[in-house]
Amino acid sequence: MNRKNLPIITPRDVNPELVDSTVQHIGYNHKIAPFKFINQNGKVITNKDYEGKIYVADFFFTTCQTICPKMTTNMTWLQEQIKYNPKVKLLSHTVFPDEDTVEVLKRYAKERGVIDEKWNLVTGDQREIYKIARQSYLVVKTGKPEELYDMVHTENFVLVDQKGRIRGFYDGTLLDEKKEGVKNVKQLLEDIEYLSNQE
């Protein structure tokens, strides 16, 4: 297989507006921090469930009418492509955990054909969700520090490798549409397949 240019992304590589100031200086060995959330089945999901897996993470909320429906449709398409690949999983975090309870997430998952073994929709402590979005996944734009726990909303799908490192950001609203300087979901699938063949 051809060598693919799939960088290991650190906070130093990302627009500072998207990165928490506490990690902006990190230029090597950045990994997703340990986490603990509750999924659509009321089960505790931690980073251990994703250990040694390639996974795609995003942030959404069930009542969103703007970018989320398109992102969910594209994540469902992605689930279909990777459902027989045991190395790959999906992880969607709600940014409105008070509204998106386990019951709400369960209904949303059923409506969208979520395969429980492949795709966790998680809720939990809002501060923890927002903290991991900014400090680990590097996907949230906020202005002042006091806005940190306001709205986290991004169209990014984040590709995480088997070692918990970020390998790419993709526009979850674009399946195969081209946009200058942006990778789409079909390119994400190619990068997942590349990582799958690395070990």
Residue numbers in the known binding site for Cu cation are 64, 68, 153
128-157 b/e (C-beta count within 10 Å ≥ 16 → b):
ebbbbbbbbbbbbebeeeeebeeebbbbbb
Q: Which amino acid is at 163?
A: K
CA–CA dist 188, 172 (Å, integer): 9
Residue 137's contacts (CB-CB under 8 Å, 6 or more residues apart) are 32, 57, 59, 156, 158, 166
Q: Which residues are annotated as a binding site?
A: 64, 68, 153
Provide the 8-state DSSP code for 89: E
What backbone phi and psi angles, to 5 degrees, belong to 176? Answer: -130, 5
Q: What burial class does residue 165 get, using C-beta atoms within 10 Å of its C-beta: 0-12 exposed, 13-18 middle, 19+ buried?
A: middle
How far, in Å, CA of 162 to CA of 152, rounded?
26
Pairing relation of β-strands 36-38 and 166-171? Answer: unpaired
